[in-house]
Structure 1
C-alpha cells in the first residue's frame, strides 16, 4: 500500500512515522523547501528502513491508495488543495483530512470524490497517541468508513467515529481546559503555577505545556473554529493572550518559545517528555 501525506509539519511528520512503522510506503508532499528537508532528515533518522519519498510535486501522489491532508487549519487553503488533487485521485482512493475542528462537510461537499472523503483526526504526538477520530460526512460511503477503521486499526490506532460538529468529540470537550486556564493567565495567574496545579491533580501535562506541545497557533485556530461553529458563545471565547503569542511568533516547542522558553530549538517537538527550560509571559 502507498500512502500520500500532504504537509510535513508536526502532524504530517508524525502521521508519516505512523504509516512507515506499519510497513507502508510513504510519499510526503511539502512545497516549502526548509520544511521538506527537515521532515526528510527527521523521518530517515527514525525510520531508516522505510520506503519514503519526500517531494514538492503533487503529481508524485498519483499512485497513492490513501491520501491524508495535514496542512495548517485554513479552510480556503485546504479546499484549494483538495480541488487540486482531483485529477490524482483514483476510483478507489481514500482521501482524509486531519483537520482538528473545521467542517468536514464544508471541505468535501464540492469534491467529485466526496463519497471517499472523510476526516481522520490524529492527535499530537501522532506516533504515541492511539486515538484517531473518524468523521464521515453525509456523502461518505459505508465502505469508505469501514476501510478507514480497518486500516487505522492495522496501524495500531484506536479509531472512534465522531460527528461532524464543531470540535468533533475531543476538541469540544477539551476547550474548557485551555480556555479557562487562559482566562486565569489573563487575570495574572502564572501559567507555570496553573500547570503545576493541574499536573498535581493527575493531568499528565498542564494546559500551557500542552498548548506549547500542540502548537500555540494550532490550539488558537481550533478554539476560533469551535467558537465560530457554535455561534460565538462566551464560554469558548478565544484568548487575547494566546492571540498575542501567535502574533509574536511564540508558537511553542516548534518555535523554541511559547508560554515557556525551551533549551533547544525543539528539534523533537513530538516528544512530550521533559520539563520546559523556563516560563515566560513575554
Structure 2
C-alpha cells in the first residue's frame, strides 16, 4: 500500500532536539508549522537558531548558500496551538516529563482533527500511556529522532498495540519526506537504540569499577572506532538526562544496566556533567580530571582491569548482547534493523562495519563463548538467555 502524502506537518518544541528536526525538515523542502512556547521573544529566538544552524551547515559545505537562504521560508513559527488545526501530523518534541508531554498531547488533540496523527519524540515514556490521554488513541505513534537530527538521519517509529496501520503509514511518510531512514520498534522503554546504548554505558562504568580510569576507557573506545568515549559522552549529554532514561530502563536491563545507578547518585550529589562543572570528570582544570565524587560511587568489580583493547571489545560486545535480548523480545524484526539503528543512530564504528559484520568477523560461536567466559568472571549480566531464539546474523 502506498504511503500518504504529507500536506501539512507541525513540530511542537524547538529546543535542543526540536530545532534540529525543524532544520532537517526545511532542508528537505517540507513546509512545517513550528509551535514554540508562549514567551516573549520565543519566536525570534527559534527563527534565529534555525538561521544559525543553516549558516553553520553552509559554512561547512553541507548546504549550498542558496539552500541555506531558501530553507527558513519553509518554517512558520507560532505560539498558538490553534495554528496546528489543519495538520496531517504533529510531532511533539518537548522535555522527557510525562505530565508535560501529556498536557501537550491534550492541547494538540483539542485543535486537530481526529485523523491527524500525533507523534512523540520520547524514547523513555510509554506511547500507549500518551495515547490514552487523547481521543482516537489509534492515531498516536512514537517517533524517536537523534541529535542532531539533520546529521543522525534516522527515526525509530514505535506504534503502540492500538496504533492504526494508517497512522503508522503516515509516520513512515513523514520520515520519507524528511529523506531519512526509519526502523519500526515495539513500544518498550528505550525502543532499540537507547536501550542497547544504555547497556554499553553501564558496562563502561563496570569497567571503571575494575580500576580502569575514565580517560583510559574513553581513549580505548575512541581507538576502537567510537566517536567519543562513554564518560565524556555522558558528561556532554548531561548526567541527569541519562538518569531519567535509566529510570525507565532499570526493570528491563536488570544487572546489564545496574552500574547506571551511579548516574542517579551523581544527580543527587548535584554533579550533572559538563553543564554543572562536574560529572564523571571535573571541568575546572584543563584538561578535565576524574571527579572524586564519581570515583567514590563506582561499583566494586573483580580486578585488575583487562588491557584497553579487551575493555573496548567487552564494552562494545555488551551493546551486541543487549541487541540480541531486544531481538528475542521482538523489539525489532531482525539484525538488519539493529544494523541500521546502531550505525545511523549511534554511529557504531564504521571500521567495525555494521553490528552484524562485527559479529560475523568475531564468529558467532566465538561471540557466545566470550559471553560465557565473561559470565563466569562477572556474573549473570552476560548470560545469553536469548540463545535458541535469536538467529546468527547472516550476510
Class of the TM-score when normalised by the shorter of the 2 chains: 0.7 to 0.9
In the other structure, the counterpart of 1:196 is 219
Give the CA deviation at 1:166: 2.2
The CA distance in 2 between the partners of 1:220 and 1:151, in whole Å, is 30
The answer to whether the 8 A contact 2:203-2:259 is kept is: no
The CA distance in 2 between the partners of 1:67 and 1:242, in whole Å, is 33
Deviations 1:216-270 (A, max 9, x none): 3322211110114x3x72332363542355456665566776545789xxxxxxx
1:13 maps onto 2:16 in alignment:
no
Larger helix share, 1 or 2: 2
Comparing 240-249 with 148-157, greater Cα deviation is found at 240-249
Which consecutive residues of structure 1, in runs of 5 or more, have no partner in the other structure? Answer: 264-275
In the other structure, the counterpart of 2:368 is none
1:233 maps onto 2:240 in alignment:
no
Larger strand share, 1 or 2: 1
In the other structure, the counterpart of 1:116 is 139
TM-score of the two chains, using structure 2 as the length reference:
0.60
The CA distance in 1 between the partners of 2:191 and 2:183, in whole Å, is 11
The CA distance in 2 between the partners of 1:224 and 1:180, in whole Å, is 17
The answer to whether the 8 A contact 1:86-1:111 is kept is: yes
Which consecutive residues of structure 2, in runs of 5 or more, have no partner in the other structure? Answer: 1-6, 55-68, 294-395
1:223 maps onto 2:230 in alignment:
no
- Within 5 A, what are the aligned runs for 1:64-83? 64-83=87-106
Comparing 246-255 with 86-95, greater Cα deviation is found at 246-255
The CA distance in 1 between the partners of 2:290 and 2:77, in whole Å, is 36
- Within 5 A, what are the aligned runs for 1:53-64? 53-64=76-87
Deviations 1:36-63 (A, max 9, x none): 3543321022344323233333223223
The CA distance in 2 between the partners of 1:181 and 1:280, in whole Å, is 15
| Two-structure CA RMSD over aligned residues (Å) | 3.0
SS in 2 for 1:73: coil
The answer to whether the 8 A contact 1:100-1:121 is kept is: yes
1:26 maps onto 2:32 in alignment:
yes
The CA distance in 2 between the partners of 1:125 and 1:257, in whole Å, is 24
In the other structure, the counterpart of 2:161 is 138
In the other structure, the counterpart of 1:168 is 191
The answer to whether the 8 A contact 1:3-1:65 is kept is: yes
The answer to whether the 8 A contact 1:123-1:132 is kept is: yes
Give the CA deviation at 1:74: 1.5
Distance 1:242 1:150, change over 3 A: same
SS in 2 for 1:5: strand
Distance 1:257 1:6, change over 3 A: farther
Give the CA deviation at 1:208: 2.2
1:3 maps onto 2:34 in alignment:
no
TM-score of the two chains, using structure 1 as the length reference:
0.81
